[in-house]
């Protein structure tokens, strides 16, 4: 039996994103349109400290954004280290649809966005700038914090009524990162991956740890081998742990959606949750199993 449509996304802010994405899907919209519409809600929400407007800056006080979007046929686009654009996910989609490329970064990504009609927005909120100044004062070593709280990307997976899958992932990245640092979120195969023959996956947490394991690609390939979404996420977390001896001090979480509409997740630390919206689940938060307790 197949469940459609389905939306699943990371963290509590996933609930609002899911609502927007699900509305597109029940209307007969595509998985790709729904994925973009969903995460745009989080990007524009000034209360979310880890995505778009209201996101925390890098250690130089500059908000730099990473985002990627992918469909189940292999189409994908992404931007990294993008400054001053409210909706990096929509720029990523333009990269996918209006260029011969997959990824644009930094100034080039911003120039492309402006040429496509996006406008500049100041994304650094005054209270966030104050917080950053205090962090700077208290951290003379100027080292980005590596800890379990330094995360909360929105990653969102969709299955539409036609049976097509898509994923979107967008973030301001790790707080107080080096200027120019790129995390897992805009990297196809790390922050997200989709294959209509199998399913879709996305990651949240300490991006460096996800990149080392090609996390989201791994989850999809494990589902291809027959593992359920939750079991695929668990095995991918085990791989992350094997590649990251410091795993006790970081969080990594994966969520997955297979082509039958089954969802699942797994994480290192127990503080992760994700939001599911389907004909059977009325947009609810799920707490997945975790490696540590």
Catalytic residue annotation:
153
At closest approach, how far in Å is the CB of 68 from ligand SD4?
11
Give the binding range for ligand SD4 (CB under 6 A) out of 26-34, 110-118, 150-158, 218-226. 150-158
Binding residues for ligand SD4, total number by CB under 6 A:
14
Q: H or E segment at 195?
A: strand 192-195
| Integer Cα distance of 156 and 166 in angstroms | 8
224 Cβ contact partners less than 8 Å away, ≥ 6 residues apart: 195, 197, 198
Lay out the site mask for ligand SD4 across 190-209 (x = CB under 6 A, - = otherwise): --------------xxxx--
If one asks whether residue 13 binds ligand SD4 (CB under 6 A), the answer comes out as no
What are the structure tokens assigned to 41, written together? 């809600």
What are the structure tokens assigned to 230, written together? 């939750």
Q: Which is nearer to ligand SD4, 96 or 240 (CB)?
A: 240
Q: Which is nearer to ligand SD4, 56 or 234 (CB)?
A: 56
Q: Which is nearer to ligand SD4, 183 or 199 (CB)?
A: 183
Give the binding range for ligand SD4 (CB under 6 A) out of 102-110, 148-156, 223-231, 232-240. 148-156
| Integer Cα distance of 204 and 17 in angstroms | 15
If one asks whether residue 84 binds ligand SD4 (CB under 6 A), the answer comes out as no
**Distance (Å) of CA 256 to CA 61, 70, 145, 195:** 34, 14, 28, 12
Near ligand SD4 by CB under 6 A: residue from 153, 216, 230, 269? 153
Q: Are 51 and 45 in contact (CB under 8 A)?
A: yes
If one asks whether residue 152 binds ligand SD4 (CB under 6 A), the answer comes out as yes
Instruction: Report the 10 Å Cβ neighbour count for 279.
Output: 11
Lay out the site mask for ligand SD4 across 156-195 (x = CB under 6 A, - = otherwise): ---------------x-xx--------xxx----------
Q: How many helices (H) and strands (E) does the chain have?
A: 8, 12
What are the structure tokens assigned to 149, written together? 């709280």
Q: What is the DSSP string of 214-236?
A: THHHHHHHHHHTT--HHHHHHHH
At closest approach, how far in Å is the CB of 100 from ligand SD4?
26
Peptide bond just before 5 cis, omega within 30 deg: yes
Near ligand SD4 by CB under 6 A: residue from 40, 59, 87, 151? 151
At closest approach, how far in Å is the CB of 164 from ligand SD4?
25
At closest approach, how far in Å is the CB of 171 from ligand SD4?
5
At closest approach, how far in Å is the CB of 42 from ligand SD4?
11
Residue carrying the six token digits 């929105």: 154
Q: What letter would DSSP give residue 248?
A: G
Query: What is the phi-psi region of residue 20: left when phi exceeds 0, alpha when psi lies from -120 to 50, beta otherwise?
Result: alpha
At closest approach, how far in Å is the CB of 99 from ligand SD4?
23
Lay out the site mask for ligand SD4 across 237-276 (x = CB under 6 A, - = otherwise): ----------------------------------------
Binding site for ligand SD4 (CB under 6 A): 50, 151-153, 171, 173-174, 183-185, 204-207
């Amino acid at each position: 039996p197949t469940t459609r449509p389905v939306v699943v996304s990371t963290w509590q802010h996933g609930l609002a994103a899911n609502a927007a994405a699900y509305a597109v899907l029940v209307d007969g919209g595509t998985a790709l349109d729904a994925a973009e519409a969903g995460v745009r809600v989080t990007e524009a929400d000034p209360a979310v400290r880890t995505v778009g407007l209201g996101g925390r800056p890098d250690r130089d006080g500059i908000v730099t954004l990473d985002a990627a979007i992918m469909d189940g046929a292999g189409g994908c686009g992404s931007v990294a280290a993008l400054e001053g654009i409210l909706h990096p996910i929509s720029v990523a989609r333009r990269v996918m649809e209006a260029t011969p490329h997959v990824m644009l970064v930094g100034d080039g990504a911003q120039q492309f966005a402006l040429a496509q009609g996006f406008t500049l927005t100041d994304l650094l909120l005054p209270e966030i700038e104050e917080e950053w100044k205090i962090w700077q004062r208290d951290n003379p070593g100027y080292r980005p914090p590596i800890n379990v709280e330094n995360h909360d990307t929105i990653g969102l997976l969709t299955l539409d009524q036609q049976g097509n899958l898509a994923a979107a992932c967008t973030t301001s990245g790790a707080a107080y990162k080096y200027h120019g640092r790129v995390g897992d979120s805009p990297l196809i195969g790390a922050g997200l991956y989709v294959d209509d023959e199998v399913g879709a996956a996305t990651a949240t947490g300490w991006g460096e740890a996800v990149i080392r394991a090609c996390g989201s690609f791994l989850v999809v390939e494990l589902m291809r081998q027959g593992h359920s979404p939750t079991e695929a996420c668990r095995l991918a977390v085990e791989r992350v742990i094997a590649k990251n001896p410091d795993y006790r001090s970081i969080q990594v979480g994966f969520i997955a959606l297979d082509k039958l509409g089954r969802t699942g997740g797994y994480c290192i630390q127990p503080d992760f949750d994700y939001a599911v919206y389907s004909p059977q689940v009325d947009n609810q938060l799920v707490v997945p199993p975790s490696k540590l307790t």
